[in-house]
Amino acid sequence: MKNRIATLLLSLACVVLCSCTGVLCKRPVGDEPVLLDKGRWNGSWTTHEGDVMFTRVVDPAKGLVEIAMISLEEKEIKMEKRILQIRKSGDWLWASSKEDSEANYEFGRISEPDEEMIFWLPKAAAFIERVRKGELKGLLPKDSEGKETGTVVLDALSAENIKDIEAGKWGNVFAWERPMVLRRLKPAK
């Protein structure tokens, strides 16, 4: 679960990415920013493992949410902060984020929060296959030995690409079976 939380916070809500695979995009995913309701998005949340995440809307019109994840590690308590861009395409909400030093965004699908917030992460293998078949434009980075790293960097996801994903044209490109579920601890201020 910590790897999924880490991946999420780097792309959505992210601590430290522990694996070397992932799906990145050169631009935030989604057609337009979501107008955020602070009452729904501000708050504190917990995972089933006890990690805590705080959310605070920083710009409702631009769909920007600041998140802070606090986790208890073996030797220390860690806190990571990020800004998520919440955007929509059709009925789906997307969350994109990047580290200040990174050029690319990590992303995932997100539900609008109520008493729970749910994140689904993309499956790298499914997106790699789409790039290999020429259905998506992107790069497959290689390591110093010339082997693919298992990461894919997409040029962008167009409105048409997103419709194809929503319609299931490319099959199961998200980890639907392993969502990250956050439960609200405390009402928004």
Give the global pTM.
0.84
Q: In whole angstroms, give the CA distance from residue 69 to residue 55.
A: 9
Q: What is the pLDDT of residues 73-108, one digit of tens each?
A: 888 988 999 999 999 998 899 999 987 677 899 999
138: amino acid identity, one letter = G
Residues in the chain: 189
| Cβ(156)–Cβ(26) below 8 Å | yes
The full DSSP string for 16-84 is: ---SS-EEEESS-SSSEE----HHHH-EEEE-TTS-EEEEEEEEGGGTEEEEEEEEE-SS-EEEEEEEE
Task: Work out the angle at residue 81's Cα, subtended by the Cα atoms of residues 78 and 86, and round it to the nearest 5 degrees.
Answer: 140
pLDDT exceeds cutoff 70 at 16 = no
Q: What is the pLDDT of residues 138-182, one digit of tens each?
A: 999 999 999 999 999 999 899 899 999 998 898 889 999 999 999
Q: Which residues contact 167 (CB under 8 A, 6 or more apart)?
A: none
Which residue in this structure is represented by tokens 């078949």?
Answer: 133
Please, which residues bridge with residue 46 across strands?
A: 52, 183
pLDDT value, residue 189: 61
pLDDT value, residue 73: 83
| Cβ(57)–Cβ(64) below 8 Å | yes
Q: In whole angstroms, give the CA distance from residue 36 to residue 21.
A: 31
Confidence of residue 188 (pLDDT cuts 50, 70, 90): low
Q: In whole angstroms, give the CA distance from residue 113 to residue 69.
A: 17
Residue ranges of domains in the chain: 2-186
